[in-house]
Every structure is written in structure tokens, then in C-alpha cells.
């Protein structure tokens, strides 16, 4: 394989994001360090569950990598703080976001499960991002426990209260993701309860997602598109079903290496076309890299509703 590319410890992608287009990922906490252990997580089943905010990664090191990445000239629609854990667990999140804004005009997005928004410091730091994408998958404490498997000291009421407070304090856009799992939170009562809370939170958008990619627990089933379309107008604001990543004609990049593909797949399973599009790489070359990664047992293929996803081993 050609194209030796610089390696990044805290950046990945740009990955194809159904909500953010081409999204350069920033990973500020160690692998699967999270406040929850969701059934639908794409990062495996063993979460290092914690509520402790720490300086997990020096912001200076993350910003240095972004500075280096910017010199490579690869396009991105957003720089997204998310990665392989819950980013609000980083105690210096504000320095990371402010530092990115100093380096580039590319807008910042923060993908968070929102469970720490009851903490005023967390709300203040998160409000620095250009767009915030929190999650709410349950309208009652039992469903919350079942789907999100939160840290034992996380209360559902406090979590929802945090989301409501954040809305009052943050003037930027809030796009609330609701992840629906067939048979777990799709019955009429679950939707009614969810809608009651969504009205209180008052996000700018509600976005319905489901298990289109391989999840930690293989028994989690995707909600069929027609059911998602039926549920969408029952929520207020009316939810949008997140469409598949658009396929655009992109120029071949010379900056992509097998290592970057592997780092991307560690955080998110992708289909071949998604990888090629988001990394601005010829599909044939992407296939070549993937073939080698398969041969060397670094990735595997999983079939999800007839679409083949590459996942890191």
C-alpha cells in the first residue's frame, strides 16, 4: 500500500455522517469511556463507565493534531467532538472547542449523550460549540435503564432536567437524536412519553435514528423505514428520519492510508461507498485497502439488512 500518511491519535475521518456531511472526528476521551452502556452502541459491550470528569487528553495535543490536519487540505463540513466515548467527560472541553475556533472557520459540532447537562460547568462548556447534538431515547426511567444502561448514579429526572436547562441557556441549534430500537421504545406509550419530554426540551430539530449499522448487541433490530416515517410526525417538532449519507463525486486524495481507514472503522462501521466518499478516495483503492485489512484480520464484514459494513476487529 502506498500513501504514507501522518498518524493521528485523537482525530479520525472525515467520516460520513448522516447529519453532518463530512465530519472530522475529534476523540477527547479514551475508548468507550462513557456515562452509559447503550444496547445499540457501536463500540462493543465493555464500557469504562464513569461520571468523573477528567483531563483525559491534553487539549494542546488535540489542537496540535488539528493544526497539522488543516495543512493537508482535506475538506470537512464540521469538526465534530464525539469519538469513542462521552466527550463531556473531558474536564477541559471548553479549551478544546475554543482552540478549534481559533484555528479554523470550520464549524464545531458536539455529539453528546447529554447525561451530564445537569452540571452547570458542562452546560457552559458545551454552549461554545456551533451545534449541539444530544440524545434522548426514552420517555421514562425504565426504558432509559433498559436501552441506555446508565451509570448507577445517573438519574433519569436529572438528565432530562439538564437538557431542559441547556435549551434555556444555549442560543445555538440543538438537534436531538432519538435512537429507536424495534420492540424496545417504539410502542405508542413510549412515543407519547418521548414526545412529552421533547416538548419540554424544545430542540430545534428531532432526528430519528435506528440500528442501520452493526451494534454491540446483535439482537438490536433496526426499525423499518415506513415505521420511522409513521413515528416522525407524532413528535414535536416533527422529526426527520436521518437519510443515508449522500454520495457525491469527490476527487481522489493522496493523504489516506490504511491506518486512517482502520482508525475510522474502530469508531464507526462503514460501508465501502461511505468510506470512499468521506475520505475522498477512489472506491477501487478503498476496496484494495479493505481487502488487505480483511486478509490481515484487522477488519471483518457484517451484513446489516442486506448492506455490508466493515468493522474493526
Q: Which residue has the cell 452540571?
A: 119
User: In sequence order, what are the beta bridge partners of 17?
Assistant: 21
Task: Tell me whether residue 31 or residue 170 sits nearer to ligand SF4 (CB atom).
Answer: 31
Longest CA pairwise span in the chain (Å): 55
Closest contact distance (angstroms) between CB of 288 and ligand SF4 is 31
Task: Tell me whether residue 37 or residue 190 sits nearer to ligand SF4 (CB atom).
Answer: 37
**CA–CA dist 216, 208 (Å, integer):** 19
Closest contact distance (angstroms) between CB of 260 and ligand SF4 is 21
Residues near ligand SF4 (CB under 6 A): 34, 36-38, 41, 43, 47, 85-86, 113
Task: Tell me whether residue 134 or residue 203 sits nearer to ligand SF4 (CB atom).
Answer: 134
Preceding peptide of 237 cis, ω within 30°: yes
Task: Tell me whether residue 158 or residue 292 sits nearer to ligand SF4 (CB atom).
Answer: 158
Closest contact distance (angstroms) between CB of 82 and ligand SF4 is 8
Closest contact distance (angstroms) between CB of 249 and ligand SF4 is 32
Give residue 176's region: left, alpha or beta (phi > 0; psi -120 to 50): beta
Closest contact distance (angstroms) between CB of 96 and ligand SF4 is 18
Task: Tell me whether residue 85 or residue 203 sits nearer to ligand SF4 (CB atom).
Answer: 85
Closest contact distance (angstroms) between CB of 185 and ligand SF4 is 14
Task: Tell me whether residue 89 or residue 231 sits nearer to ligand SF4 (CB atom).
Answer: 89
Task: Tell me whether residue 47 or residue 191 sits nearer to ligand SF4 (CB atom).
Answer: 47
Closest contact distance (angstroms) between CB of 154 and ligand SF4 is 11
* Residue in 286, 277, 282 with CA at minimum distance from that of residue 258: 286
* Residue in 167, 155, 251, 240 with CA at minimum distance from that of residue 206: 240
Amino acid at each position: 500500500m502506498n500513501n504514507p500518511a501522518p498518524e493521528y491519535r485523537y482525530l479520525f475521518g472525515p467520516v460520513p455522517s448522516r447529519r453532518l456531511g463530512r465530519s472530522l472526528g475529534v476523540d477527547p476521551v479514551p475508548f468507550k469511556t462513557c456515562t452509559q452502556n447503550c444496547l445499540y452502541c457501536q463500540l462493543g459491550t465493555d464500557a469504562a463507565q464513569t461520571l468523573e470528569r477528567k483531563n483525559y487528553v491534553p487539549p494542546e495535543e488535540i489542537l496540535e493534531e488539528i493544526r497539522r490536519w488543516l495543512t493537508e487540505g482535506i475538506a470537512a463540513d464540521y469538526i465534530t467532538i464525539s469519538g469513542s466515548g462521552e466527550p463531556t467527560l473531558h474536564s477541559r472541553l471548553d479549551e478544546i472547542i475554543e482552540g478549534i475556533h481559533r484555528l479554523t472557520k470550520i464549524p464545531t459540532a458536539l455529539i453528546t449523550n447529554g447525561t451530564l447537562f445537569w452540571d452547570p460547568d458542562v452546560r457552559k462548556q458545551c454552549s461554545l460549540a456551533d451545534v449541539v447534538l444530544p440524545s434522548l431515547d426514552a420517555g421514562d426511567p425504565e426504558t432509559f435503564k433498559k436501552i441506555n444502561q446508565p451509570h448507577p448514579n445517573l438519574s433519569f429526572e436529572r438528565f432530562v432536567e439538564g437538557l431542559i436547562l441547556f435549551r434555556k441557556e444555549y442560543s445555538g441549534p440543538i438537534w436531538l437524536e432519538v435512537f429507536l430500537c424495534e420492540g424496545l421504545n417504539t410502542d405508542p406509550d413510549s412515543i407519547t412519553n418521548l414526545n412529552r419530554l421533547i416538548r419540554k426540551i424544545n430542540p430545534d430539530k428531532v432526528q430519528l435514528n435506528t440500528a442501520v449499522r452493526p451494534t454491540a448487541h446483535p439482537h438490536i433490530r433496526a426499525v423499518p423505514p415506513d415505521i420511522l416515517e409513521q413515528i416522525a410526525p407524532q413528535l414535536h417538532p416533527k422529526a426527520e428520519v436521518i437519510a443515508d449519507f449522500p454520495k457525491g463525486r469527490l476527487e481522489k486524495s493522496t493523504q489516506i492510508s490504511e491506518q486512517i481507514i482502520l482508525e475510522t472503522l474502530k469508531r464507526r462501521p462503514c460501508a465501502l461507498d461511505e468510506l470512499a466518499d468521506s475520505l475522498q478516495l477512489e472506491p477501487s483503492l478503498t476496496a484494495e485497502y479493505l481487502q488487505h485489512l480483511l486478509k490481515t484480520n484487522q477488519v471483518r464484514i457484517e451484513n446489516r439488512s442486506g448492506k455490508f459494513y466493515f468493522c474493526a476487529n
